[in-house]
Homo-oligomer: A and B are copies of this chain.
C-alpha cells in the first residue's frame, strides 16, 4: 500500500527507482515502507514492479516473514547487488541519507540522485485507513494501561516502579514503549523530559507521559495526577490547562495552519509553556506535522497528531496530551479521563 503510493510519486517525477540505505542509523522510512527494522539494510523500490530488501544473511528469514523479497548481502557486495535496479534517475531521502551513503551511491552508480524528502514527509503525514485502524488500537491499549496504572498506584514506591509497571503491561500485550516512559512526581514534574528515578514518589503533581508501539505504530498520551491534596491555585492551574486543551481540540479544522493553534495556546499559557503544542505520530513517535511556533504545516484530513499544552514552574509541571485524528473535526483517540485525579 505504502509502496504503491511511493511508486506513484516515482512515476510522476519520472524517477527509475528509490533507494534507502540503513547505516549506523535506522531509517524510519524503511520501517514505514515495508514494516521491518533490520540492522543493516538496503531497500530498492523500482517505479514499477516488485521492491527488494537486502540485509545481512542471518536477518533474511526474519525479513521474509514480513516482506517477501528479502535477499542476503554484505556491505562489501552491496554495490554489485544493487546494480540491476539502478537507472538514470534515482530517488533518495536527503533528510535521512548520510553524506557517506550519498558518496557511496555517487561512487558506484552513474545516476542522478533526486531528493524526495518532502514527498515522503507528505505521504507519511496523511494516514491510510489501515494505519488509522492500528493507531486507534494502540490508543485503546494506552487507555487500558492508564486505568490499570491508577488501580495499582498504591503498590508503587518510586517513579521507576510505576514506569516498570506500564512497560511490563505493554510487553504482555505485544507492545513496546514508543519512547522512555516519563513518571515525574513533585518538583520533577517541572522537567518535561524527566527520567524516572528510584527516589520515593513525592507529593504534588505527577506527570505520566507514555505510549506504546503496536504493530509498528506509536501512541503518546500524558495525564497529570495529584498525589495528596492540591492547593486552590494548583487546582485552578490544572483546570486552566485542561480547558485550553479542550478548546483547542474542539477548534481543530483541516485547512488551518498548525502554527495558529500553537500561538493560541502560547497566548493563553505564556512563558510557562515551554515546548511545542504537538507533533504527528506514526511509525515515529515524533513526525510531521509540527505544531509549534515555526511550523509551516497546514492541517489536513487523516492527519494523526498530539495536542499537549503544559505549564512548568520550578515547583511543578502540568501537561495534558491526547492523540487526535483529524477528519472534518477532531476525534480524540486517547480517551482517559481528564478530571484531576487525586491519589
Listed in ascending order, the chain A residues whose CB lies under 8 Å from chain B are 23-26, 28, 38-39, 56-59, 61-62, 74-76, 92, 94-100, 102-103, 115, 117, 160, 163-164, 167-168, 171-172, 174, 176, 180, 191-194, 196, 198, 274-275, 284, 286-287, 293-294, 312
What's the least CB distance linking A343 to chain B, in Å? 22
Interchain residue pairs A-B with the least CB separation, the first 10: A94-B99, A58-B274, A76-B294, A94-B100, A58-B275, A58-B192, A95-B100, A25-B25, A97-B99, A164-B168
**Contact among B58, B192, B194, B198 with A312 in the assembled complex (CB-CB below 8 Å):** B58
Decide if B99 touches A274 in the complex (CB within 8 Å): no
Interchain CA distance A23-B99 in the complex, whole Å: 14
Q: Write out the residue numbers on chain B whose beta carbons fall within 8 Å of the beta carbon of A75.
A: 294
Q: Write out the residue numbers on chain B whose beta carbons fall within 8 Å of the beta carbon of A26.
A: 25
Decide if B98 touches A103 in the complex (CB within 8 Å): no
What's the least CB distance linking A274 to chain B, in Å? 4
Least CB separation from A294: chain B residue:
B76
Decide if A275 touches B23 in the complex (CB within 8 Å): no
24 cross-chain CB contacts under 8 A: A23-B95, A24-B95, A24-B287, A25-B25, A58-B193, A58-B274, A58-B275, A61-B191, A62-B191, A74-B294, A75-B294, A94-B100, A94-B103, A95-B99, A97-B98, A99-B102, A100-B115, A160-B171, A164-B168, A164-B171, A167-B167, A171-B196, A174-B198, A176-B180
Contacts beyond the supplied A24-B96, A160-B172: 7 A-B pairs with Cβ under 8 Å: A58-B274, A62-B191, A74-B293, A74-B294, A94-B100, A95-B98, A98-B98
Decide if A56 touches B168 in the complex (CB within 8 Å): no
What's the least CB distance linking A251 to chain B, in Å? 24
Q: Write out the residue numbers on chain B whose beta carbons fall within 8 Å of the beta carbon of A286.
A: 24, 39
User: Could you say which of A28, A75, A192 has the most chain B C-beta atoms within 10 Å of its C-beta?
Assistant: A192
Decide if B96 touches A25 in the complex (CB within 8 Å): yes
Q: Write out the residue numbers on chain B whose beta carbons fall within 8 Å of the beta carbon of A160.
A: 171-172
Interchain CA distance A74-B103 in the complex, whole Å: 29
Q: Write out the residue numbers on chain B whose beta carbons fall within 8 Å of the beta carbon of A58.
A: 192-193, 274-275, 312
Q: Write out the residue numbers on chain B whose beta carbons fall within 8 Å of the beta carbon of A103.
A: 94
What's the least CB distance linking A339 to chain B, in Å? 26
What's the least CB distance linking A232 to chain B, in Å? 27
Least CB separation from A274: chain B residue:
B58
Q: Write out the residue numbers on chain B whose beta carbons fall within 8 Å of the beta carbon of A176.
A: 180
Interchain CA distance A110-B57 in the complex, whole Å: 44
Least CB separation from A97: chain B residue:
B99
